[in-house]
Structure formats: C-alpha cells, structure tokens
Structure 1
Amino acid sequence: MVVLAAISDADTDEQILAEAVKLADAFDDELHVVHVRSYDSLSDTEQDATDKTVKQQTKAIAAAAVEDVDRSVVPVGLIGQPAAEILEYAEEIDTRYLVIGGQKRSPVGKALFGSTTQKVLLGAERPVVTVMG
C-alpha cells in the first residue's frame, strides 16, 4: 500500500513529511508526496502553458521538498482543486493513510473561506492524519 503526504509550500511541510515517513516506515509502504496547484493560483504565463507542463513544474516542487528524505519517495504533481485532486489520487493508488497539514481557524473562518484540509477530512474514505501548524 501507499502513504500519501500532501504538501503545499507551507511551514508544516517538514512536519507532514516526517509523519508520513514514520507511517511509511512502520508499515513498510511506499511514500508518495503530492503537491497540487489550483488553476486560480497560476500566473498568466503558467495559464498559457499546458497542463502537462504545469504538472511537471508541480512535481518538481514535490521532488525538491523530499530531497533530504532518506527513503524512496514518489513525487507527484497535480493541477486542479486541491482537495478533489488529493482524494482522487488517494483512491487511485489505494492509499493506506493520507497525511495533510491544517491550520487552526474559527468556525466562521472555515465556513467563509473553506479549507482543503476540512474537505479532505470530510471526503476521505481512509484514515487521515492531520499535522497542525
């Protein structure tokens, strides 16, 4: 099986990776590290690029994040709505655990702005480990 770590260029990425490595080592599973870019976050130049090009750039971000990880890691770059892409990929590869980061927000903040973490937690059909920043 696979442990999936979803990173986002946040301060918690190192903690997410550390927790994912622990789980992958404990179960002797593969470790996949996913970075997702939303279409809304793309610059004008990136919007003119193909999805394949943007996915390659995003995969490079995931690969750079795991350079210091002392184990085999599969970096994955995706583009789209982050929560939906993470959940779809987790289903596709039959993930044992999802490891994601979270931020403390008020209930009103969650309702107004949404949350990738919240969407993953509510939509996942497998265990999710949340690393709080």
Structure 2
Amino acid sequence: MTILIGYLPTPEGEAALEAGIAEGQLRSESIVILNSPRKGAPVDAALASVEQVAELLRRAEVAGVEATVRQPGHTDDLTDEFIDIADEIDASLIVIGLRRRSQVGKFILGSHSQRILLQADRPVLAVKVREKS
C-alpha cells in the first residue's frame, strides 16, 4: 500500500511531510508526495523546485521510506485531482497539512483540506504546524 501526502513548500506542507514519512515508517509503506501546481500559472510558489524535490526524496530515503514525487498540474479542482490520485495509487492513507483560518475565511474561500476530509473514501490524517515554544 501507499501513503499519499499533500505537499506545498510551506510550514503546513512540511508538517504533512513529516507526519507522512513517520506513517510510512510505522506501516512499512511507500509514500507518494503530491505537489500540484495550477496549470498555466506564470509563477507558482506552490511548485517545489528541482532542488526541493531532491531534498524531499533524500529525507524519505534517510528515514528508510521509498518515495516518489508527483507534480501534475491541475486546471479546475485540486480536491478532485487529489482524490483521483489517491484512487489511482490505492492510497491506504492521505496526509494533509492544515492552516489556521478564520470562520469567515473558511466560509468565503472554502477549503481544499475540508473538501478532502469530507469527500475522501479512505482515512485522512490532517496535521497542524507545531506551535513554537
């Protein structure tokens, strides 16, 4: 089986990656790191660079977890893309990072994380960034 990790080069993405690698170790499963930029965007800060991808793979290797990184572009709905890939790889678990948002922000903008939690037909682990002490 495989664990699907939603990754952006953000603190939330890092939290998801750490949790996903830990789950991969615990379950002796490989991981797929999904970093999906919007197609047609001239610059996308969500896209991990070649160097960042190499570092993601190195971190998984150090942890003893087999990993691949997928960077398919999406045009319409990231949530649908995410769930389609989970189905395609028969993910045993989906790991996503959550960011804090106001109630109004959630209502107006919606939330890919919320939709993944509600629409996925498999377990979803949603992690937050650790508070610095």
From 63, 66, 73, the counterpart of 2:67 = 73
Relative to its length, the structure with more helix (as a share) is: 1
TM-score by length of 2: 0.79
Q: Does the alignment pair 1:116 with 2:115?
A: no
The number of equivalent residue pairs is: 121
Indicate the percent of aligned positions where both proteins have the same amino acid: 23
TM-score by length of 1: 0.79
| Kept in 2: contact 1:2–1:93 (CA 8 A) | yes
Q: CA deviation at 1:13?
A: 2.3
CA RMSD of aligned residues (A): 2.2
Structure 1 pair 93–59 and aligned structure 2 pair: CA distance change class (3 A):
farther
Q: CA deviation at 1:126?
A: 0.6
Q: Which residue of 2 aligns with 1:99?
A: 95
Where structure 2 has 5 or more consecutive residues not aligned to the other structure, the ranges are none
Q: Which residue of 2 aligns with 1:84?
A: 80
- CA distance, structure 2, for counterparts of residue 103 and residue 64 of structure 1: 23
Q: Which residue of 1 aligns with 2:24?
A: 24
Q: CA deviation at 1:5?
A: 0.7
